[in-house]
């Protein structure tokens, strides 16, 4: 029941009505909101759990690598919530560099991954199918050198 209540809360709090600029048709859209998915320190709990598994079970010694993998885990969590709650697969009216028509879902998932890796502070460059240009995601101030940071390509 708790999972269902959380899902209902996330869905009702983050759903908005959008109008397709081409057809004028209204559709429900999931507005991705970190605060609803990460309430009650769930994000910190997931990160600490994954951090412990990576370090204790698999012996990963590089703290920046652990942080990067935890960020990708968080991105996966947010994409999963988007996929579970996206009811209408509507087109955004744009195409990616591959020539594919972009769905609002594609763009929202792309944004969720970019947000997670920016928050981690250990990535410097990222690119995706939806955002193929190498994008600077490095924090404004960091003590890490470029050699200590990661680059990411994803779809």
89/141: higher pLDDT? 141
Q: Is 121 left (phi over 0), alpha (psi -120 to 50) or beta?
A: left
25 band by pLDDT with thresholds 50, 70 and 90: low
Residues in Cβ contact with 11 at an 8 Å cutoff, skipping those fewer than 6 apart: 30, 85
Q: Tell me: the pLDDT tens digits for 127-152?
A: 999 998 999 999 999 999 999 999 99
Q: How confident is the model at residue 37 (pLDDT cuts 50, 70, 90)?
A: low
For residues 77 and 46, the answer to whether their CB atoms sit within 8 Å is yes
- How many other C-beta atoms can be found within 10 angstroms of the C-beta atom of residue 89? 10
Look at phi and psi of residue 59 and say left if phi exceeds 0, alpha if psi is from -120 to 50, else beta.
left
Q: What DSSP state is assigned to residue 23?
A: T
- The pLDDT value recorded for residue 12 is 45
pLDDT of residue 42: 82
> For residue range 90-125, what is the model confidence (pLDDT) as tens digits?
788 887 777 788 888 888 899 999 999 999 999 999
- What is the value of pTM for the model shown? 0.74
- Mean pLDDT value across residues 47-67: 96
Residue 44: pLDDT band (50, 70, 90) is confident
**pLDDT for the residue numbered 56:** 96
Mean pLDDT of 59-67: 96
Q: What angle do CA 25, 102, 123 make, to 5 degrees?
A: 130
Average pLDDT, the chain: 81
Q: How confident is the model at residue 41 (pLDDT cuts 50, 70, 90)?
A: confident
């Amino acid at each position: 029941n708790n999972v269902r209540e959380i899902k209902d809360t996330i869905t009702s709090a983050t759903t908005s009505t959008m109008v397709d600029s081409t057809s004028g048709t209204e559709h429900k859209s999931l507005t991705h909101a970190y605060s609803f998915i990460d309430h009650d320190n769930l994000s910190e709990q997931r990160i600490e759990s994954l951090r412990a598994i990576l370090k204790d079970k698999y012996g990963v010694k590089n703290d920046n690598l652990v942080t990067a993998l935890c960020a990708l885990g968080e991105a996966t969590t947010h994409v999963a919530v988007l996929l579970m709650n996206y009811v209408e697969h509507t087109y955004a009216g744009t195409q990616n560099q591959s020539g594919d028509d972009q769905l609002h879902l594609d763009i929202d998932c792309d944004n969720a991954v970019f947000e997670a890796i920016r928050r981690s502070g250990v990535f410097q460059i990222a690119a995706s199918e939806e955002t193929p240009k190498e994008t600077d995601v490095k924090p404004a101030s960091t003590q890490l050198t470029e050699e200590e940071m990661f680059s990411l390509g994803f779809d």
